[in-house]
Amino acid sequence: MQAVCKDMIKDMQTNIQNNNSSPTPQQVNNQGSEARDIKREVDSYVEEFIRLDTELDEIKVSLSNMECLLSTAASYLKEARTTPRSNKVKYSLLYNLHKAISKVKSSYASLNVCYVDATYSLEKACVIFRDINNKADDALAEALKESKDIRYNMFSALLLDKSQPNTNKKANIVDNNEIENFLFINLFSLDFNN
């Protein structure tokens, strides 16, 4: 997923660089749409990160409880070994208890390593997706800037065309209604709010 998002951003940046001279309104709309799609995807992954982080917190609580019980059991074992033999504790029972505590210790160590790895991986993924989200924000801002430039250039060209003296006035008359229609259809159709 990370590679797909990075490829999409690279494609957008390449398109912006290749078409830097004069992007069309459609290209700008496409770039804005791609940036919004990336942001939506990143947002869905952020929700997943939050869910995983909650699960990791629950695992950490379980590991802490396990460590506490392990410490208590080890303390009881040590006490049982040092008490006088008047309790008639069998050596085999102490040995089995020692083995059980060792197994739990080993399991705890393995689970703790897995927990630390999962936490690190989640933090790293979160940083990567924040970076991707920032790049998508930048691409969206660039597309918005380009759309404003396109609107300005098209409006300027329209006004310049209207102010030019024409030899054939019937063929080249641009009235106010045509300007309003042109602005509404062509200039304000660049929408980045969706």
In this structure, is residue 25 part of a structural domain?
Answer: yes
Instruction: Specify the pTM.
Output: 0.56
In this structure, is residue 108 part of a structural domain?
Answer: yes
Residue 121's identity, in one-letter code, is S
Residue 15 CB: number of other CB atoms within 10 A?
16
Residue 107's identity, in one-letter code, is S
Q: Which of 37, 46, 47, 49 is nearest to 5 (CA)?
A: 37
Per-position pLDDT tens, the chain of length 194: 555 545 555 555 565 555 455 667 777 778 788 888 888 888 888 888 889 989 999 999 999 999 999 999 888 888 877 776 655 657 778 888 889 899 999 999 999 999 999 999 999 988 888 888 888 888 888 878 877 777 777 777 766 666 666 545 444 445 555 555 655 555 555 454 44
In this structure, is residue 183 part of a structural domain?
Answer: no
In this structure, is residue 178 part of a structural domain?
Answer: no
What pLDDT does 186 receive? 55
What pLDDT does 11 receive? 59
CATH number reported for the structural domain that contains residue 114 in this entry: 1.10.287
What pLDDT does 172 receive? 46
End-to-end CA distance of the chain: 23
Cβ-contact 104, 70 below 8 angstroms? yes
In this structure, is residue 165 part of a structural domain?
Answer: no
What pLDDT does 141 receive? 84
In this structure, is residue 58 part of a structural domain?
Answer: yes
Cα within 13 Å of Cα(127), Cβ side:
6
What pLDDT does 153 receive? 72
How many domains, the chain? 1
What pLDDT does 171 receive? 44
What pLDDT does 39 receive? 83
Structural domain for 54, as ranges: 2-140
Separation between Cα atoms, residue 7 and residue 13, nearest integer Å: 10
In this structure, is residue 63 part of a structural domain?
Answer: yes
CA 68 centroid distance within chain: 36
In this structure, is residue 150 part of a structural domain?
Answer: no
CA 133 centroid distance within chain: 6
Separation between Cα atoms, residue 132 and residue 34, nearest integer Å: 13
What pLDDT does 113 receive? 93
Separation between Cα atoms, residue 172 and residue 170, nearest integer Å: 6
